[in-house]
Structure 1
Amino acid sequence: MFRFFRARQAQSSHSSKSSTQSLPNVNGGVHSTLPDRGQLNIPLADVKAEDLAARDAIGRGRTLARQDRWAELSRQMRAADKNRAAAPDGTPIADLLAFGARSDVVLAVEHALSDGNALCEYDLLGGISELEDEMRAHPDNAMIALVVALTHIDLAWAWRGTATDATLPPLHRSRCAAHFDRAAALLPKCRAALPDSPIVAAAGCALLAGQRKASLRVADEYERLISLDPNNQRHMRAMGTHLLPQWFGSYAELEVQALRNAARTHDIWGAGGYTWVQFDAITFDEEACARLDVEYFLEGLYDILHHRPDQQTVNMLSAYCAITIQNGLRQNEKAEIVRAQIHEAAHGLIRDHMTELHPMIWAHAANGFNNSVRIHSAERFAARGQRDALRAIGDLFREELLSGMDVTFTPTGLQLSQH
């Protein structure tokens, strides 16, 4: 379901802030008082429908856990994992079910750790102990064991928080290590029972963060995961991030593995395997951005679009080029040149490929597609994304709109007409 949004272009200056209309909220349009300016018309994807698959999977996982229907949860996770089912944003449905199942335990601990009074009153081990009991009650069920392992990984991060190594309190350090160690003890059983499971392989990659050892072959772990689920770009993006020097790799290894990934996944993504590995890494690290083979990155960008021409992908790549890539620290001249080239690609993506606007995707783009961002109101979050998107699109079509032309996005392509 789509709503059609019309916005009249306001008086423009050269600044992006003033180049677009008084922006609407998510429920309707606002027209400017300058009738001699053109209109920007673009269909809006339904915000609730955009988010429905993920919310439904998380809700099912939470409900099944609360009702102690663990065997049914395991069955649904295995089916989703086997079918490589994913939400529109690429998040595996099995992951979402598992998150829902452990969310009550994890969120309670996170709340307690963020509130000193709650920390004194809450039994921080009670929830995970109950999950351990469920695992023991189902000794041959690897998916339940996996949910427990993932809970331990989440709790380790909750104890780790955002403190630096130097400022992390000893209790937090020891609890963090203990949860990572427990997850590491549980995962071998899951791997043995489900050797071809992407969700198990992804858990192994997630566990790497708690095992800062020079001998780790991080790329090997991710190669295995990607080989099990090569159609899911999230695994490639996570590999790129973990190959940065601040984690487990180096700039040279990041480049080599990005090229190797492009070769391994060429039948599925073309050169896009290189682009996906670099996708998040170059937004986090200025030097990685400066070293990027930008021509090959852009070739991969259009190969991704060739293989995945849906509007979810078009909006994601457009928002990345228009907004995310601009969020750098502006401290590296070479990186700025690279960012400018990638930013320029937004023009072609929007003009030639966009037919509808997905506000949630643009909202996530402003946060660097950070999955840990907590969304308290999907409508307000989407409204922010809509404002950002309209500002970017308005800047792109500034000359046409100021000359009085209407810019209309249709299912068959862009149409320009005299207002």
Structure 2
Amino acid sequence: MTTPPTEPMTRLRDALRAMMDAPLRLRGRRGALGSADLDRLSRHIILPTVAVTDEEIARAAFQDRGTKLARQEMWDDLARLIAETDAARAGTPGGESASLLLAFGARSDVVAMTEDALHDGAIPDLDGIDAMEALVDEFAGDYPVAAVVALAHIDMAWAWRAIPGASGLDGAAIRAAHHAARAEALLAPHVDAAGDAPSVAAARCALLRAQPGHGAQHVADRYQHLIDIDPASPRHMRGLGAAVLAAMPGDYRALELEARRTAARTGDIWGAGAYAWVYLDALALDPGALCLLDPAFFIDGLRDILARRRDQHTANLLAAFCAITMRPDTARRAPVIPARDALHACLPWLLRDHLQELHPLIWTQALHRPGAGPLPPRRALLSEGRRTALRAIAAQFADDIAQGQSIAFSPAGMYMLPSL
């Protein structure tokens, strides 16, 4: 009897599944391994690398579209497109808002000129923003145009505060305050008229960064409105955590409260996922926030996120967070140890059950504190990210590799192969 052509593939698939289900040995040798050891072990990891991801392509497409329409002065088309993507709650595979990416592209030239001047120690020319201001009058009552111009002012206000040396220039504080005040005035007429437009709500949240001094409750209220009208976007929840932390540095009670409140409000969409989303960027900024974190609730959140978002952008993001942001820290305070270790210990199942391909830039981003200074060229970032990820995986499965196994990843999951 002739063997059906599909039978060998069936046997191979069953064998791979059996290998995937086999218990993985993690005996903690990674503490004694140096970089050279990890690099040697990482040669036994088979992990496809995607240098340009679907997420990057989608972000670039929306940003480039916004830039092109603004440069060609096609503001009617841009306003209509922002309104349409707002209404549809359109976004990238990773959950970035399409309307905000369009708005970013539309203002990027004007903001870049301001930032370049400040980096050079010069007072920026206002011709660009003045030209955008004229558009507000031309498109009176059109909220997308007002939102784009307001966001440009917000970026410029932040540049005056954040770019090294800018605060020492003549009238820096007054100029920053002027841009922030102008942004607030531009948004005010649309708070009620376009109150369900995520781009307007997001701009009002961004304005908080340009006007420091608001209390945590005020910050939380603005973000909760944004999350209520666009709950599917994790970007807003991550922004909430970072903003509440900035409003009350060193006091983590408000952060814990808002993480739980957000989880309760979005449970039908994210399960416990919002609790993890709110904490994600906050922990990257200040690991001290672990002191009030509920590890079990956070881990439930990770599982709920991945049950709803099965894309590789999310899998890489959460694996890099647990591997790099939550890696062991010998200088940490004793009360923080259990929570940090519990989150870091999620890495094996994240790798085994969810990782299929490597997105190296996500791993590089995990190495750098949010808002850090200028980064190296893209090629260097890709190389750094791949090396970082492979070392983290090698550290987790060092015993298995040392005993002659190779670790392989595919759409079928992670499995082990005997090394050649």
Alignment TM class, shorter chain as reference: 0.7 to 0.9
Distance 1:202 1:263 in 2: 21
Gaps of 5+ in 2: 1-29
Aligned CA distance change for structure 1 residues 16 and 367 (closer, same or farther; 3 Å):
same
Distance 2:307 2:58 in 1: 25
In structure 2, what residue type is equivalent to 1:402?
A: A
Aligned CA distance change for structure 1 residues 162 and 127 (closer, same or farther; 3 Å):
closer
Per the alignment, in what secondary structure is the counterpart of residue 47 of structure 2?
strand
Cα shift at 1:391: 0.9
Aligned CA distance change for structure 1 residues 211 and 360 (closer, same or farther; 3 Å):
closer
Q: Work out whether residues 139 and 145 of structure 2, in 8 Å CA contact, stay in contact via their aligned partners in 1.
A: yes
The one-character-per-residue Cα deviations of 1:219-257 (angstroms, maximum 9, x if unpaired) are: 111111101111111111111112126548942222112
Gaps of 5+ in 1: 1-11, 25-30, 32-38
Aligned CA distance change for structure 1 residues 312 and 73 (closer, same or farther; 3 Å):
same
Cα shift at 1:373: 6.7
Aligned CA distance change for structure 1 residues 128 and 98 (closer, same or farther; 3 Å):
same
Distance 1:108 1:372 in 2: 20
1:348 counterpart = 2:354: no
Distance 1:23 1:114 in 2: 43
Aligned twin of 2:61:
56
Q: Work out whether residues 47 and 359 of structure 1, in 8 Å CA contact, stay in contact via their aligned partners in 2.
A: no
Q: Work out whether residues 157 and 176 of structure 1, in 8 Å CA contact, stay in contact via their aligned partners in 2.
A: yes
Distance 1:159 1:327 in 2: 36
Mean CA deviation greater in 388-397 or 187-196: 187-196
Aligned CA distance change for structure 1 residues 49 and 307 (closer, same or farther; 3 Å):
closer
| 1:70-81 matched pairs, under 5 angstroms | 70-81=75-86
Aligned equivalent of 2:105, options 92, 100, 104:
100
Distance 1:99 1:359 in 2: 24
What's the TM-score, normalizing by structure 2?
0.85
Aligned twin of 2:293:
292
In structure 1, what residue type is equivalent to 2:409?
A: F
Aligned twin of 2:276:
275
The one-character-per-residue Cα deviations of 1:12-63 (angstroms, maximum 9, x if unpaired) are: 9932412333699xxxxxx6xxxxxxx2111222425442111121111111
Mean CA deviation greater in 140-149 or 319-328: 319-328
In structure 2, what residue type is equivalent to 1:276?
A: W
Aligned twin of 1:181:
181
Aligned twin of 2:206:
206
Aligned CA distance change for structure 1 residues 220 and 249 (closer, same or farther; 3 Å):
farther
Mean CA deviation greater in 388-397 or 145-154: 388-397
1:413 counterpart = 2:419: no
Cα shift at 1:332: 2.5
Per the alignment, in what secondary structure is the counterpart of residue 357 of structure 1?
coil
Distance 2:171 2:41 in 1: 48
In structure 2, what residue type is equivalent to 1:262?
A: A
Aligned CA distance change for structure 1 residues 332 and 19 (closer, same or farther; 3 Å):
same
State how many pairs are aligned: 389
Distance 1:23 1:109 in 2: 47
Aligned CA distance change for structure 1 residues 340 and 168 (closer, same or farther; 3 Å):
farther
Distance 1:74 1:324 in 2: 39
Distance 1:88 1:55 in 2: 12
Aligned equivalent of 1:67, options 72, 76, 90:
72
What's the TM-score, normalizing by structure 1?
0.85
In structure 1, what residue type is equivalent to 2:226?
A: L
Q: Which structure dedicates a bigger proportion of its chain to helix?
A: 2
Distance 1:287 1:49 in 2: 34
Cα shift at 1:352: 2.3
Distance 1:312 1:112 in 2: 35
Cα shift at 1:204: 0.8
Q: Work out whether residues 253 and 292 of structure 2, in 8 Å CA contact, stay in contact via their aligned partners in 1.
A: no
The one-character-per-residue Cα deviations of 1:98-146 (angstroms, maximum 9, x if unpaired) are: 1111111111111101113xx26x52x1110010012212113211111
Aligned equivalent of 2:35, options 14, 17, 25:
17
Mean CA deviation greater in 249-258 or 317-326: 249-258
Aligned twin of 1:136:
137
Distance 1:246 1:162 in 2: 20
